[in-house]
Structure 1
Amino acid sequence: MAAWHRPTGQASSSTADQVLVADWARTWTPCSSPADMPPDRGRRFPFHGRVSTEDHQDPDTSHAWQLLRAQALVCGHGRIVAEFFDTGRSRTIPWARRPKAVALLDAMADPDRDFDALVIDSGERAFCGNQFATMAPLFEHYGVEVWVPELGGFVDPQIGGQEELMILEVQQAAAGGAGCQANWAWGRIRSGMVAS
């Protein structure tokens, strides 16, 4: 992958850099191009993400790196056809109280929806406590696969231990386990490096 370099003589500005990185990450895809995949091939994914604190995280940059991770996960399996991104919403808030998550749930219930599976950038960013355990039956009921990087694909309820692994990971993140937080921070650093 080619590195991005500021044109010679252009001044540096953290705001300008954030805009450039966010614009680049929004248009870059790990596949050759999502448009290269014929519309009738592969899964159609909505992307769900969230950022909780606008004071401490730039929503555009956070959205960009989360989308980048989601695109990398689904590369070769399908394409992202919709986005549901909540800004200013903590993971501790139930999905039913996050506006974009509610819109995603409403779309899931539509038998004529334009997607087959859901991709999120991280289970611990999307869920908290027992949220995944309570949501998993709903995803299964509507026939929507949930794709997460932690598993390198979708959570398969037929494979013993996958749902339990997701629940355990989310609970560790909620408890603030040092190892989990260190892995989360390292993952954000790596994603940020790729995006810059």
Structure 2
Amino acid sequence: MNTPQDLERLRFNMIEQQIRPWDVLERDVLDLLANIRREDYVPAEHRALAFFDMDIPLGDLPGEVMLSPKVEARMLQDLHIQKHESVLEIGTGSGFMAALLAHRAAQVLTLEINPKLAATAADNLKRNGVTNVEVRTADGAKPLPSGPSFDVIVLSGSVARVPQNLLGSLKIGGRLGAIVGNEPMMRAHFITRTSEGQWDTQQPWDIVAPRLLNFPEPSRFNF
């Protein structure tokens, strides 16, 4: 059993040895990771892995994971979320990323396709006093109501291609963050809606992440 002092040492090492070396240097982001208890969002059977540089299993399917700390931290930093903004997350998982988003944003809607994970995430958030997140059991790959609704959309998992329908749900100035591509090479995409029909795309880092369910997969066959 780890003592509180052990947990704080592990948390400090996670930040200094995993997250800072991944160019996560914003003070506000580092402070969040120091103060939000990641271990409270990890399944009990995997709690010893809470601060490891790895994806932590959450459910029965391969893609049901809690992304590694450095990926969550870099995604949070590079989206530049402001206190007045609304956020949509696809892939709630344990609720930890939603908790991070909630401390940067005004309101977070997070969608989780697995009802059991959605219920667990809602319990985790409530238990940790996070009140500005709505956890909804829903398939994030299905079309959203039409019209610009969100300042930020983040995909907590990978997709083969940027979902065009989600881009239409961004307000002007809104940003979408997603990990895009196929193994062994995927890249983080940050797409800003600069004006009606105009987009700016940045692809600043590489990572491989498990797939989100039900998003389209291109054919691997060439004829």
Q: Give the TM-score normalised by structure 1.
A: 0.35
Which structure has more RCO (C-alpha within 8 Å, separation ≥ 6)?
1
Greater helix content: 1
Greater strand content: 2
Q: Give the TM-score normalised by structure 2.
A: 0.32
